[in-house]
Structure 1
Amino acid sequence: MLNLELLKNEACDIGYLLSDEQLLKLDQYAQLLVEWNEKINLTAITEPDDIVMKHFIDSFLLLNHIQTKEPFSLIDVGTGAGFPSLPCKIICDSMQLTMLDSLNKRINFLNEVVQNVGVKAQCIHGRAEESGKQPELREKFTYATARAVAHLRELSEYCLPFVKVGGYFVALKGFEIEEELEEAKAAIKVLGGQIVDVKKYELKDSGKRAIVVVKKISQTPTKYPRSFGKMKKQPIM
């Protein structure tokens, strides 16, 4: 389905040399994405070259901000169709991956991808504000990530409770991030985090991306995360 030469070359340009097996797995993933998208709404991006650039290459940027080559755990919060974490798992097998989403239909899709493509990952149906308080998930992960349109302030409240002290929350955000960063600083501090890096990328023919890296320097107070309604009514300022 995919132009594998394009995928291989673009991945190489950002530092990742994909094997034939990895290319095949990514192609299988793309095929399932398009097939399932006819049944449930997973993505508006279905053209093969757009899948390569706007889903796969964009997702690989996450790995630029992983600090270790040793095995590590990562939770993808509100993962949707598996972006950014599942493409990264395909090319970084040392990742111990958990994908969390509130819509069971998406989890069913991800379970089929994991089974058919042949990768090990845990797929959990649940809301972030509830799952973040569960003892088996709270502060258990080296990394949390999200590629989401939510404001960084609320996104940090969803994600930082999953991260162990010393770990990182890596958010894939829109290019113009400065105002949002300023508005989120107080919340990140309250939640036990500290912004340590902001990197901007411009990808060929596929728009722009900012990645925000937050280090977890202290435990998140037990009252967080709150419900979405409370986050909106009483944002952490």
Structure 2
Amino acid sequence: MDPIQTQFHKWLEEKEVHLTEYQISQFEIYYKVLVEWNEKMNLTGITEREQVYIKHFYDSLSVSFFIDMKGKRNIADIGSGAGFPSIPLKIAFPHLEVTIVDSLNKRIQFLNHLTSELKLAGVKCIHGRAEDIARQKEHRDLYDMVTARAVARLAVLNEFCLPFTKVHGNFIAMKGSEVGEELEEAAFSLKELKGKYIHTHRLDLPDQETSKRHLIVIEKTAATQAKYPRKAGTPLKTPLVR
């Protein structure tokens, strides 16, 4: 391992996330494929190697600092973009069955290529709007954990993500800035979509003076009402707020 990989490994060991040399090598392949494809399409504004390891890989794995991943079997990642946080979580916890939903087919093509290069089994990459896919029987009220990273405001994310989440499963909203206002705004959508706010975990990314992260944990308390999610585009235009 070179110095960047060694430091990455050390930071994760401190959080009791233990990676093998093979898993470390998978993250390096991930980095190289990400940078290569980023020249052809806009996947990320962060391409400097050390910053990718911190702001994408470590940040994605921070979910596992607070959630017992051994207790999760299947996860869905909504609006995954370049595969964050689900692909880093899959690398670190190979037992996970991962479903990724993204509305841009080019990103799905990238993710299919990436999972092939990483030799990952048990990853499905689905092209479509979350509002449409969540109405399909094979995805509704199904997943132990659903994630969304920097996709939209929480009131919108609840409608995107809670229909995928199984009863007593978790929706994890990964946020950067302070989230108090978003939580207040999202209270009505949580009630409507059978979500219960559990906790907000806060952390600072290593070696970053200003990179604060917030992970909002929500529990699904009952099956999603048939009227949700509303048709594609509606949650963004008219969020469930009062």
Report TM bin, short chain. Answer: over 0.9
Q: Which moved more, 1:53-62 or 1:223-232?
A: 223-232
Q: For structure 2, which runs of at least 5 residues remain unmatched after alignment? A: none
Q: Quote the residue 1:212 is aligned against.
A: 216
Q: Quote the residue 1:99 is aligned against.
A: 100
Query: Once superposed, which parts of structure 1, at least 4 consecutive aligned residues long, lie more than 6 Å away?
Result: none
Query: TM-score if structure 1 supplies the norm length?
Result: 0.95
Q: Structure 1 residues 12, 42: closer, same or farther in 2, change over 3 A?
A: same
Q: Does 1:61 align with 2:62?
A: yes
Equivalent runs, 1:22-171 vs 2, <5 Å? 22-67=23-68, 69-70=70-71, 72-120=73-121, 121-171=123-173
Q: How far does the alpha carbon of each residue in 1:153-178 deviate from its partner, in whole angstroms, 9 at most, with x for none?
A: 00010000001111110110123011
C-alpha RMSD of the superposition: 1.6
Q: How far does the alpha carbon of each residue in 1:123-144 deviate from its partner, in whole angstroms, 9 at most, with x for none?
A: 1111101111111111111111
Superposed displacement of residue 12, structure 1: 1.9
Q: Structure 1 residues 114, 104: closer, same or farther in 2, change over 3 A?
A: same
Q: How far does the alpha carbon of each residue in 1:103-122 deviate from its partner, in whole angstroms, 9 at most, with x for none?
A: 11111111111111111211
Query: TM-score if structure 2 supplies the norm length?
Result: 0.93
Q: Structure 1 residues 99, 217: closer, same or farther in 2, change over 3 A?
A: same
Matched residue SS, 2:117: helix
Q: Quote the residue 2:228 is aligned against.
A: 224
Aligned length: 237
Q: Quote the residue 2:200 is aligned against.
A: 198
Superposed displacement of residue 205, structure 1: 3.2
Q: Quote the residue 1:174 is aligned against.
A: 176
* Percent of pairs with identical residues: 41
